[in-house]
Structure 1
Amino acid sequence: MEKNVSEMGSVDCLPSQTRSTITLDVDSKKDEEYNPLEHRQVEHPTSTLGSFFHLLKSSLGSGILSMPAAFKHTGIIPGCIGTVIVGFIATHCVHILVTTSRDICKECHVASLSYTTTCERVFKNGPKRTRPYSTFVRHFVDYAMAGVCLGGTSVYVIFIASSLKSIFDNYASDTKYPVEAYCGFLLLPLILITQLRHLKFLVPFSLLANLSLVVTFGITCFYTFSGLPDLSKVKLVNSVAQWPLFLSTAIFAMEGINVVMPIENEMANPEDFLGCPGVLNITMTLVAALYGVVGLFGYLKYGEGVDANLIVSLPKDDLSTPAVYSLLQKKERLTYIMKHK
């Protein structure tokens, strides 16, 4: 075919059917040769380890403290199996999203696509009957992502504000502010942090957050692993009618798909994201294991009386009290000593 084409001078001189066949062959060859990962030019790429910290933080949060209550709704056996299933489904969905995004990047010859653009291009390049809905799908995904981010962030802000209120109401001063005031106090640092546009510069924050979670996880395990009571307080299988409560808690705790594409798009080595082992598989395996351990042993320890937030169920002593509590207590003791010296 190449010899015939060269002899005739150009493709345009060939019959229409032959010319169409050559065009398809050339396009197919281009698709096979184009690798979007090799054409990415990221201004501030994130290392593989930094991407691991980001993905771990997006999937591992305060929801881990609600897992014992989630196990209470299902019982031990469905809870353990359900944690594995939810973790597998969450991982599989991310695999589908990233693989689809790379495939459409290859087809469109672009280096990377965002979550919303991936959805739009999939519909635009899909069957003819789906193409008119591409713009609608883009807007729908944008609004859905905004709702998820705002809703999830609001939960975390209220959680932090409530914790700060408990600290300062009990240890700092006689002046007590409402939770709304602490939400306002958090507004300035949150605005400043959100000005960082590149994930590479957010790695220290993710690392600090993950270290804090590890410390909290260690303290929690210290109490939940020691002195397990009579196991008659727990149920192996609970009523199926309560299982949806487990699913809602587990999905909220593990869900972090909204940050997957930004993390994958800004990786210095995006080929390390998928695969076995890969950043995604390692992260989600660790997340599912941590959630399962906290949920199982937290439920075994406190039984049907476990609180929706495991921290509330822990004994109030020096170890379970946050470090800032201890610092404030020491400050009060020092002030008392100086006054009565």
Structure 2
Amino acid sequence: MGVVLALALGVVNAHSMIKLVKCSQHLSERKQLNEGSNKFAVSTIPVTSSSEKTSRTASDTSTSVFESRLLQSGLTSGKKEETKEKRVALNYGNMAEEAFTSSKSKWLGKLAKPIKFAVNLCVIGLQLGMCSAFYIFVEDHIIGYLFDKDVSRDMTFFAILPFFILIATVRSLVVLSWIGFIGNILVVIAIAIIVVQMLFMKHVPISHLPAVTSIEGVTLAAGSMIYAYSAQGVVLPLENKMRKPQDMLGFFGVISISVAFICTVYVTVGFLGYLTYGHDLKGSITLNLDNSP
């Protein structure tokens, strides 16, 4: 049941993130087109005249100038690739605001600002939740590995806080990418060591392990699995910084390949951990390992 649930949630997460990127790209191109149209329309307003013939001529001239400038600025289909490269970057709040603003319903258009605030609030809550889980993970392992388990959790909490604040102050995407790259290498090495170790440990017979424990167990497992695909908060910022944002999409796009890799690792570690420790398996597989080399 856990394997099926992990695969299903992986597909749902990948589909949701792909839809999110598609909406962002569509609304970004629409916003750029509207801004360009308004700009050229204002710059080509004809001077009014008492003569109807002169007015018609000025209107025709402004229309032709408007069309030529649209062609030159790449806002037509012939310059679609150039437009994509220079498109307006939208974050989560701006994307929601643009979606409501461009709606044909006036009632929905009035909700653009409140929706933007609500979406930004949800993103903050998502990031705080993920950071809290990381914080607890680090705290538990520091207590279990470096100190006696009777040490105060409050002391450990405040001891590691400056290091988290220091990392949180980094705003450069280049620096963050290097930090993430080094962290990913360490995580891959740790996962490889854990998987190899569990392969050679004594396993609980599959017949002694139930496929489904309870509804409560399924809901807890679903929450942990959704947390494993915790890239929702960085999808749009990453897509906005890419030279070719279209590479995020597709069957072999960045999102699909990343989710497939994470799902494979998650299923492998989870299945081996369940076979190895059975009902004694803790929230993190590393908490079941001893400190001996």
Task: Give the TM-score, by structure 1 length.
Answer: 0.64
TM-score (norm 2): 0.74
Distance 2:257 2:246 in 1: 14
Please say if 1:307 is aligned against 2:282.
yes
Aligned pair partner of 2:2 in 76, 79, 85: 79
User: In structure 2, what is the Cα distance between the partners aligned to 1:162 and 1:296?
Assistant: 23
Rounded to whole Å, the distance in 1 between the matches of 2:118 and 2:108 is 15
Shift in alpha-carbon separation, 1:239–1:162, aligned structure 2, 3 A: closer
1:292 to 255, 267, 270: 267
What's the CA shift for 1:211? 1.4
Match of 1:11 in 2: none
Alignment partner, residue 125 of structure 2: 147
Superposed displacement of residue 136, structure 1: 1.1
**Structure 1 CA distance for aligned equivalents of residues 126 and 173 of structure 2:** 20
TM-aligned CA deviation for residue 282 of structure 1? 0.9
Deviation at 1:301, TM superposition (A): 1.6
Residues 137 and 268 of structure 1, relative CA distance in 2, 3 Å threshold: same
Instruction: Considering Cα pairs closer than 8 Å and 6+ residues apart, tell me whether 1 or 2 has the greater RCO.
Output: 1
Alignment map for 1:1-341 (pairs within 5 Å): 78-109=1-32, 110-128=87-105, 129-170=107-148, 178-226=152-200, 227-240=202-215, 242-318=217-293
Partner of 1:10: none
Q: What residue identity is the alignment partner of 2:143? A: K
Structure 2 unaligned segments of length 5 or more: list them: 33-86
Residues of 2 paired with 1:316 and 1:294: CA distance? 19
RMSD (Å), alpha carbons = 2.1
Distance across 2 between alignment mates of 1:229 and 1:165: 28
1:135 & 1:208 partners in 2: Cα distance?
39
By how many angstroms is 1:260 displaced? 0.8
- Give CA deviations for 1:74-118 in whole Å, capped at 9, x if unaligned: xxxx21111111000000110111100000011110521011110
Q: Which runs of 4+ in 1 moved over 6 A?
A: none
Distance 2:143 2:223 in 1: 27
Q: Contact (CA 8 Å) 1:233, 1:304: kept in 2 or not?
A: no
Give the Cα separation in 2 of the matches to 1:243 and 1:170.
33
Q: 2:19 is aligned with what amino acid? A: I
